[in-house]
Structure 1
Amino acid sequence: MPKTYRLQLGSLVRHLPVMTLPNGVTIASFVLLGDAELTHWAAEQLLKKLNHLDFDYFVTVESKGIPLAQEITWLSGRKRYFVLRKGVKDYMVSPLTAPVTAITTSADQQLVLDGTDAAKLKGKSVVIVDDVISSGGSLQAAEKLLQQADAQVVNRLAVLAEGDAQKRQDIMTLGTLPLF
């Protein structure tokens, strides 16, 4: 039987598979995609942490943060959020790019902001929302892209902080995950 890690967030319990990545790091694999109950609960709780902060948009990183951004946007009464993609798409106009290194992906990646979206974000205040922050590589690349777009990051939210990210004071989270 595969080893699992018991994660409890509020009254919700999930048993996450423990797996070793090709880079040798062992994690409890948290996948928010498809878990509507946890996504809704997390969005409600994270929205409370913002404590009526004034901002314009939520921004997330493709792909596991998307359902969370969708739900928190809807619950906050906003009608739009933005997704930083992991590759340039043919439909994009003058995309902005930033390299990213994440512990869960061994290949080089980039984050991409469509130039059309960048124009909408210019001069706006944003909150970055994601599922897990670990090394902070995706968050750093997201902030670089948003800075290029002349948007101001006013807060950072994640369901979980993993490893050393637990010590960060610049993100709001609902729980932690160990690195094994």
Structure 2
Amino acid sequence: MTTLATYEARHYPAGQAFETPADRYAVRLSDGSHLELPLRVLPTGDKAIALLMTNQCDFAVEDALAPLMAQAAQEFAPDVIAAVPTMGLDYGRLVARGLGHPHYVALGHSRKFWYDEALSESTTSSTSTKGKQVYLDPALVERIKGKRVVLVDDVINTGVSAVSAIRLLQRAGANVVGMVNVLSEGHAWRAVVNELEAGWEQRVKTVGHIPMFEADGQSWKPMADTL
């Protein structure tokens, strides 16, 4: 049985001094604060990522990040917030509440018996490469049809799950005006979201950016092309 150290993300307010251990990475956020994340080695053994596990973070971390995301989302003047499963759901709810919305739209991976396959898209993610479907509950179509929708997720990396969710929402009649993430990771996602429309990457806003990492002796260093 594999055992790992207990997951911990740390948030440091702007101006607070801190020291980051070699096995962690601190990213500067839009308000000058920092989010410190543990490095997790990929299965290949020669690369690592700064891991944001949203559903394992302290509530205090969510409380610090959500207002920054809501501020970014407000720039799009959205009617509705929609969220990518699974890690985007917590932030989708918090962002919607922060904007004073009465509700939000949660996409899902689990197919309920009343769902329609026409309201689904195939997708993968960087941390879960096995293919799966993302669904929109038919009961939520009227909530987004003809509305300005902003999509929320925790990290955008490959861009595949983002594009799948956007296409699904568009097919249901939503006007997806932008996307807000806690973090962008690397830059591979840019070309993928631009498949939606040239320049769509300009509609993606993040609170911070993290690189990917490569082995450097006994430690790790950011990969230059992902900074």
Which range, TM-score by smaller chain?
Answer: 0.7 to 0.9
Matched residue, 2:38: 16
SS in structure 1 of the partner of residue 164 of structure 2: helix
Give me the whole-angstrom Cα distance separating, in 2, the residues matched to 1:138 and 1:166.
Answer: 10
Decide whether the 8 Å contact of 2:70 with 2:96 is kept in 1.
no
Larger radius of gyration: 2
Q: What residue number does 1:78 align with? A: 101
Q: Which amino acid aligns with 1:131?
A: D
Q: Which runs of no fewer than 5 residues in structure 1 stay unpaired?
A: none
- TM-score, normalising length from structure 1? 0.87
- Tell whether the 8 Å contact from 2:76 to 2:150 is kept in structure 1 after alignment: no
Residue matched to 2:146: 123
Higher strand share: 1
Deviations 1:123-155 (A, max 9, x none): 111000110001100110011100110101011
- SS at 1:123 equivalent: coil
Contact 2:159 2:189 in 1 (8 A): no
Aligned to 1:7: 27
- Identical aligned pairs, as a percentage? 28
Following TM superposition, by how much is the alpha carbon of 1:38 offset from its aligned partner in structure 2, in angstroms?
A: 2.1
2:177·2:203 contact (CA, 8 Å) conserved in 1?
no
Larger deviation: 160-169 or 66-75? 160-169
Cα distance 1:128–1:165, how it changes in 2: closer, same or farther (>3 A)? Answer: farther
Specify whether residues 111 and 49 from structure 1 end up closer, same or farther in structure 2 by C-alpha distance, changes over 3 A only: same
User: Which structure 2 segments of 5+ residues have no match?
Assistant: 6-21, 191-200, 214-227
Superposition RMSD in Å: 2.5
Residue matched to 2:187: 164
Q: Secondary structure, in 3 states, of the residue corresponding to 1:169?
A: helix
1:77, distance to aligned residue in structure 2 (A)? 0.7
Figure out how many residues of one structure are paired with residues of the other and give that number. 179
Alignment of 1:82-97 (within 5 A): 82-90=105-113, 92-95=114-117, 96-97=119-120
In the alignment, structure 1 residue 31 sits paired with structure 2 residue 53: yes
Code of the residue aligned with 1:104 in structure 2: it is T
SS of 1:41 mapped into structure 2: helix
Following superposition, the deviation at residue 177 of structure 1 comes to 1.2
Other-structure match for 1:55: 78
Corresponding residue to 2:206 among 169, 173, 177: 173
Where 2:95 maps in the other structure, the secondary structure is helix
Cα distance change of structure 1 residues 88 and 22 upon mapping to structure 2, 3 Å threshold: farther
SS in 2 for 1:176: strand
For 1:120 and 1:105, locate their aligned partners in 2 and report how far apart those are by CA, in whole Å.
29
Cross-structure match for 1:100 = 123
The answer to whether residue 172 in structure 2 is matched with residue 149 in structure 1 is yes
Q: Work out the CA distance in 1 between the residues paired with 2:115 and 2:142.
A: 11
Q: TM-score, normalised by structure 2?
A: 0.70
